[in-house]
Amino acid sequence: MKQLHKQMSSKRDEETIPTSQSSPYSPKALKHPRSLPRSLHYLFREQRLLFILVGILIGSTFFILQPSLSRLGAAESTSLITRSVSSNVVDTYSPSRMSFNYGGGKTGRVPVGIGRRRLRIVVTGGAGFVGSHLVDKLIGRGDEVIVIDNFFTGRKENLVHLFSNPRFELIRHDVVEPILLEVDQIYHLACPASPVHYKYNPTNVMGTLNMLGLAKRVGARFLLTSTSEVYGDPLEHPQKETYWGNVNPIGERSCYDEGKRTAETLAMDYHRGAGVEVRIARIFNTYGPRMCLDDGRVVSNFVAQTIRKQPMTVYGDGKQTRSFQYVSDLVEGLVALMENDHVGPFNLGNPGEFTMLELAEVCFTFASSFFLSHKSEFQFDSVYMPNLHQDLKCSFELRMGSS
């Protein structure tokens, strides 16, 4: 029995010992060796949803960061353009070669591909003589213009050709009352300049104060149109902008002169105290289309008397000299001053001068009959328009009348 048991055990051992030459039909031959670790194999087989979520996260992160990278690249190119523009601007406004070209929506030299930003501009007194020509200029270069006028001396006929323009807006309003608007620039021209009108309207002080308040609230640049009358009856010829004048504070015309001086004072106080960007222009005799024939000034008086075939009135001996500028030259100067970095004040006018007799002779060329009526004294105790500072172009190269 023991021998039989040993034989059975030996056979059982032989069956369990693996052989080196396995049969091709053995079940172990069908199992392929694992090429990945057990943990990765588990993830790929059992956690497919997790991998899908990770892929979505990576894709979302890329699409979120891609616009930022694009803006970063654009910023680098923009900085190069900005440096180029800055160099052009510095060159354009260098003291030795100032040049301005504001027609057709251009301001100086603009690099190709960079358009001028459209401005929203208020022109007070825009229905008047000078104001209406300024509005035409600003509309012509592509800006949006809001005209504020109470039609005290302005006329709708001066602006009727702009009523259908979508960039033009007309508001009937007196600037002695505040108004709220969102604008980039303010041209403050609202003020009757004729002796017939300015005694009855406090625009010089209250209107200027309200417009300066508007400029302060909205951060707009403010241009004040002052007058050469701030020099009064000058003792210095020609008058520089630093000349303080020889004034009579109680004369018949003093309300206009003192009102303009007060307006200049307010403008400079707002500039120094509140940081308002201001520009001050002292305007000399101006003539041209749309001027009022009955405003009491010498050019309009001569023209009106010539048209009506009346004797032209010359006060004194007629040898007093005045400077006369065409309205389009003045408009160019106002726009150039607004776009410049200088505060002022600046004299704006024609450096050439005429005597009153020479002006009368010019009117004679358009009249069939001509005769003069001399009066020994002036109507007022101060000369209406003092001589223009001869160094105008040296103090501020606006390239006006003689350009």
pLDDT tens for the chain, 403 residues long, are 445 455 555 555 555 444 445 455 545 445 555 555 666 666 666 667 777 888 888 888 877 776 555 444 544 444 443 344 334 333 333 333 333 333 333 344 555 545 678 999 999 999 999 999 999 999 999 999 999 999 988 999 999 999 999 999 999 999 999 999 999 999 999 987 666 666 666 668 899 999 999 999 999 999 999 998 899 888 887 788 999 888 888 887 788 889 999 999 999 999 999 999 999 999 998 989 998 877 777 888 888 888 888 888 887 778 888 888 999 999 999 999 999 999 989 999 888 888 888 888 887 777 654 555 555 444 433 333 334 333 333 333 443 333 3
CA distance 350 to 324: 6
Residue 372 falls within a domain, yes or no? no
pTM of this structure: 0.65
Is 315 domain-assigned?
no
Residue 402 confidence (pLDDT): 38
Residue 266 counted as domain residue = yes
Question: Closest by alpha carbon to 299, among 144, 194, 142, 157?
Answer: 194
- pLDDT at residue number 254: 83
CB 330 within 8 A of CB 187: no
Helices assigned H by DSSP within 308-355: 327-339
CATH classification of the domain holding 334: 3.40.50.720
**224 domain-assigned:** yes
Query: Residue 124: which of 61, 191, 75 has the closest Cα?
Result: 191
Give residue 188's region: left, alpha or beta (phi > 0; psi -120 to 50): beta
Predicted pLDDT of residue 339: 95
Q: Note if 256 is an active site residue.
A: yes
Which pLDDT belongs to residue 166? 96
Assigned domain for 157 exists: yes
Q: Give the per-residue pLDDT at 385.
A: 38
Residue 135 included in any domain: yes
Please check whether residue 31 lies inside any domain of the structure. no
Q: Can you give the pLDDT at residue 194? A: 66
Question: For residue 210, what are the domain limits?
Answer: 103-287+325-351+390-395
Contact indicator for 218, 181 with CB cutoff of 8 Å: yes
Number of domains in the chain: 1
Q: Which of 339, 356, 346 is nearest to 119 (CA)?
A: 339
Q: Which of 187, 231, 256, 315 is catalytic?
A: 256
* Residue at 365 is within a domain: no
d(CA 225, CA 330): 11
Token reading at 265: 């004072």
